[in-house]
């Protein structure tokens, strides 16, 4: 019996060992499975809250004025529309509560995963046999946030249990390091919404036309209704929102859903005061630029330009621009590249576009010859027909009104913007010297040499920008000292202001441009250029009436205005005083409200002397001179001292024959000036007679050339005219 008992007892040990081995293998298998499951469901590392905030890059950039007030914004990134990060406190409580209730009503109590919701979802799926059920209710806000942070957690078409476990683990990781407030704030900012909008900032603006803090319960229900399907149609969205709002009457929600889907609620919350400057300065998503712009002055310039363009009407002129500079610092206080209205090129920056300068370059020309001592403000210039040989043929300048005033002083010629005296002044100066002066003043569009521009440079044939104009005139305001302009408040220049124009010459030119009496013949006694305080101004109109300018300064500000058509077509019935000058006046008046401008102090190198101008229509006056150039009487040179030239016929003239008068009775008198003893006239290469004999021309139809030659046979002057 003893042996038998041992046998039975010994037989029990192999069974225990087998059970032990089986359990061991099961444990090992479970460990392996758990390890595999752990590896398969391991989520990507979750960033911390501070890193998410720091990495947030809006699609917009913002422009601020000198006092930190918003001027404009610019869309820079076009992948998604994202505005600035919205703190949780700036999201309306109604929106926060509604979204939490609809998406994760136990959000504030769980640690990233709502196990009760998961159990309920599993039971629903089992009882429905796996068909038609939805497990969306089990997806918590932290789980959705984890998918926003790591899109691989919620790839389209992947709804298996491994993906769900990865999402759950990521949510638990977030909840272990983030507060619930941080998770909810990040959720609202990373949320993808309808269209290209991402985040509550862009979504509230583009979908509801509101800021997040302004959204009410109806808005909140609609936004919560969008979350399962941002592209939902109006009827499906309305049903879902009505259910979320638990409304008994869904009429208001139905109407709001239709409006939201139609996209009619989009709104712009920035003031839109400087779109062209925003385009120029904002080049990086999230960039914030504090400019030198003064919002008050910017608004005044916009109002003045808008009022003038509206008054003129799009049939006459469609576009305009304004730049205001601080004389002392060079700060750009206003930069208006256009105001829209009926513009056909509203996106073009009129303040930075290069346009033909017209007469606005004349002050710089006269300043140069005055500083060299070649002319004074009282010097006499001949406003009479002139023709100049150029490489491309004869250049025959004409005045704006096609009339001539005879002998005029430099003061009168500049103040009245006479063209022919300006061209004669450029002959005295030098085209290349003048071109170089303009380049030094900042007109860097003049990339060719003087010969390219020719004598028409005196009349503004070159193309310049409004900013260049403003700063060149600011140089005159600062008595010849030039420094660059400044758009950004943090911008600093190492170079000191450079003395480009003689201070006395700049002062004299400024005094001329502020002289209402001197410009009365051309502009009237009470034009838009006349202000109730000291201010200097110059207008200009380009060839073909395509550009109209008014640039001027007071003791503190320089204001430059351009009006025209950015597409290049001519204006209709718009002149210097009716186009740009009224805007210049309105801006100047706004700038000096309560603080009238003061005249500049006379520099040490300028003296005053009474002067008479016999032979002109100008009365005696007190005149400013650079020291050493003053004269008490300035008269036109006697006839014998003048350069011999043909004064009639005028070059470029067209004469018409009268068919009712015999041809031999229709003669054309030839007039010459200067001492022409021994000189001869040649018509179409045939001798006409002695120049001092006053010969007559019996005209025949066609083009003719009349030449004046000296006793040695050298051509002194010539004119071309046509008979029809």
pLDDT tens-place string over residues 69-114: 999 999 888 888 899 999 999 999 999 999 999 999 999 999 989 8
Peptide linkage before 649 cis (omega within 30 of 0): yes
Q: What is the mean pLDDT of residues 164-170?
A: 84
Alpha-carbon gap, residue 453 to 459, rounded angstroms: 10
Which helix (H) or strand (E) element contains residue 240? helix 234-245
Lowest mean pLDDT among 170-179, 334-343, 535-544, 660-669: 660-669
pLDDT at 131: 46
Residue found by looking up tokens 């592209």 in the block:
231
DSSP class per residue in 271-332: --S-HHHHHHH--STT-EEEBS--HHHHHHHHHHHHHHHHHH-TTT--EEEEEEEETTT-BE
Contact (Cβ atoms closer than 8 angstroms) between residue 457 and residue 361: yes
Task: Count CB atoms within 10 A of the CB of residue 461.
Answer: 17
Q: Which of 80-89, 147-156, 678-687 has the lowest mean pLDDT?
A: 147-156
pLDDT (mean) for 669-696: 88
Confidence (pLDDT) at 12 = 55
- Residue for token pair 């170079």: 495
Q: Which H or E run includes 548?
A: strand 547-553
Short-list 485, 500, 373, 358, CA closest to 437: 500
Look at 26-35, 387-396, 478-487, 703-712 and tell me which has the smallest mean pLDDT.
387-396
Of 208, 222, 228, nearest in space to 252 by CA: 222
Per-residue pLDDT at 160 exceeds 50: yes
User: Quick one: pLDDT band at residue 29, thresholds 50, 70, 90?
Assistant: confident
The three-state DSSP-derived secondary structure of 323-378 is EEEECCCCEEEEEECCCCCCCCCCCCCCCCCCEECHHHHHHHHHHHHHHCCCCCCC
Task: Assess whether pLDDT exceeds 80 at residue 482.
Answer: yes
Residue 706 pLDDT: 92
Q: What pLDDT shows up at residue 671?
A: 87
The predicted pLDDT at position 528 comes to 92
Let me know how many helices (H) and strands (E) the chain has, helices first: 22, 27
pLDDT per residue as tens digits for the range 440-449 = 999 999 999 9
Which one has a higher pLDDT value, 543 or 620? 620
| pLDDT tens string 182-221 | 999 999 999 999 888 899 999 999 889 899 999 999 999 9
* Tokens (6 digits) for 618: 């100008």
* Highest mean pLDDT, choosing among 51-55, 299-303, 645-649: 299-303
pLDDT at 127: 78
Question: Which pLDDT tens digit goes with each residue over 246-287?
Answer: 887 788 899 999 988 887 766 667 789 999 999 999 999 889
pLDDT at 695 over 50: yes
Give yes or no for a contact between 582 and 317, defined as CB atoms under 8 angstroms apart: no
Q: What pLDDT is stored for residue 224 in this prediction?
A: 93
The string of pLDDT tens digits covering residues 617-658 is 999 999 999 999 999 988 766 766 677 888 888 777 788 888
Query: Which range, 125-129, 300-304, 611-615, is most confident?
Result: 300-304
CA dihedral 628, 633, 636, 638 (to 10 degrees): -100
Q: Which has the closest alpha carbon to 536: 579, 497, 578, 478?
A: 478
Can you give the pLDDT at residue 32?
Answer: 75
pLDDT of residue 390: 58
* pLDDT attached to residue 132: 44
Mean pLDDT computed over every residue of the chain: 88
pLDDT of 387 reads 65
What is the structure's pLDDT at 249?
A: 79
């Amino acid at each position: 019996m003893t042996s038998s008992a041992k046998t039975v007892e010994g037989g029990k040990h192999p069974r225990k060992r087998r059970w032990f081995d089986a359990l061991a293998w099961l444990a090992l298998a479970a460990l392996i499975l758990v390890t595999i499951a752990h590896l398969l469901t391991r989520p990507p590392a979750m960033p911390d809250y501070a890193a998410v905030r720091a990495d947030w890059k809006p699609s917009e950039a913002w422009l601020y004025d000198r006092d930190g007030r918003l001027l404009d914004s610019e869309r820079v990134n076009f992948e998604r529309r994202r505005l600035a990060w919205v703190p949780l406190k700036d999201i309306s409580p109604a929106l926060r509560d509604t979204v939490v209730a609809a998406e994760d009503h136990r959000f504030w109590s769980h640690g990233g995963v709502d196990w009760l919701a998961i159990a309920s979802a599993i039971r629903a799926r089992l009882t429905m046999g796996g068909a038609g059920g939805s497990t969306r209710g089990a997806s918590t806000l932290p789980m959705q946030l984890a998918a926003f942070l790591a899109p691989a957690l919620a790839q389209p078409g992947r709804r298996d249990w491994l993906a769900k476990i990865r999402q759950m683990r990521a949510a638990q990781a977030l909840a272990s390091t983030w507060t619930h407030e941080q998770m909810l704030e990040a959720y609202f900012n990373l949320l993808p919404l309808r269209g290209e909008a991402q985040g509550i900032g862009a979504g509230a603006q583009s979908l509801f036309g509101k800021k997040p803090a302004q959204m009410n319960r109806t808005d909140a229900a609609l936004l919560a209704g969008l979350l399962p399907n941002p592209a939902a149609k109006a009827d499906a969205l309305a049903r879902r929102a009505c259910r979320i709002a638990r409304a008994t009457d869904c009429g208001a929600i139905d109407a709001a859903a239709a409006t939201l889907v139609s996209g009619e609620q989009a709104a712009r919350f920035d003031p839109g005061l400087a779109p062209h400057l925003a385009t120029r300065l904002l080049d990086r998503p999230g960039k914030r630029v504090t400019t030198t712009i003064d919002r008050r002055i910017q608004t005044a310039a916009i109002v003045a330009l808008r009022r003038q363009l509206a008054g003129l009407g799009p049939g006459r002129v469609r576009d305009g621009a304004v730049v205001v500079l601080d004389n002392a610092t060079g700060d750009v206080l206003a930069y208006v590249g256009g105001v829209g209205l009926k513009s056909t090129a509203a996106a073009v920056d009129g303040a930075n576009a290069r346009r033909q300068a017209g007469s606005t370059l004349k002050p710089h020309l006269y300043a140069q010859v005055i500083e060299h001592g070649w002319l004074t403000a009282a010097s006499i210039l001949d406003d009479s027909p002139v023709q100049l040989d150029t490489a491309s043929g004869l250049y025959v300048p004409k005045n704006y009104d096609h009339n001539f005033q005879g002998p005029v002083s430099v003061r009168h010629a500049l103040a009245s913007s006479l063209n022919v005296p300006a061209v004669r002044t450029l002959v005295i100066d030098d085209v290349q010297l003048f071109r170089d002066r303009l380049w030094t003043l900042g007109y860097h569009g003049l990339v060719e040499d003087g010969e390219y521009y020719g004598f028409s440079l005196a009349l503004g044939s070159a193309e310049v920008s409004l900013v260049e104009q403003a700063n060149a005139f600011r140089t005159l305001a600062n008595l010849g000292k030039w420094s660059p302009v400044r758009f950004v408040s943090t911008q600093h220049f190492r170079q000191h202001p450079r003395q480009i124009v003689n201070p006395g010459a700049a002062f004299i030119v400024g005094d001329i441009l502020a002289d209402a009496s001197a410009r009365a013949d051309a502009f009237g006694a009470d034009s838009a250029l006349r202000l109730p305080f000291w201010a200097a101004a110059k207008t200009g109109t380009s060839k073909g009436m395509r550009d109209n300018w008014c640039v001027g300064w007071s003791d503190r500000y320089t204001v430059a205005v351009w009006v025209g058509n950015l597409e290049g077509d001519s204006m209709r019935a718009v002149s210097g005083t009716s186009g740009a000058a009224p805007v210049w006046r309105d801006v100047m008046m706004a700038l000096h409200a309560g603080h009238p401008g003061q005249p500049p102090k006379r520099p040490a190198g300028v003296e005053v002397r009474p002067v008479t101008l016999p032979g002109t229509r100008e009365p005696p006056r007190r005149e400013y001179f650079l020291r050493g150039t003053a004269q008490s009487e300035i008269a036109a040179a006697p006839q014998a001292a003048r350069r011999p030239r043909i004064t009639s016929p005028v070059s470029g003239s067209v004469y018409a024959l009268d068919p009712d008068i015999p041809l031999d009775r229709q003669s054309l008198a030839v007039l010459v000036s200067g001492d022409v003893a021994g000189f001869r006239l040649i018509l179409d290469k045939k001798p006409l007679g002695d120049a001092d004999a006053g010969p007559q021309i019996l005209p025949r139809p066609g083009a003719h050339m009349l030449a004046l030659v000296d006793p040695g046979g050298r051509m002194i002057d010539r004119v071309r005219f046509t008979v029809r």
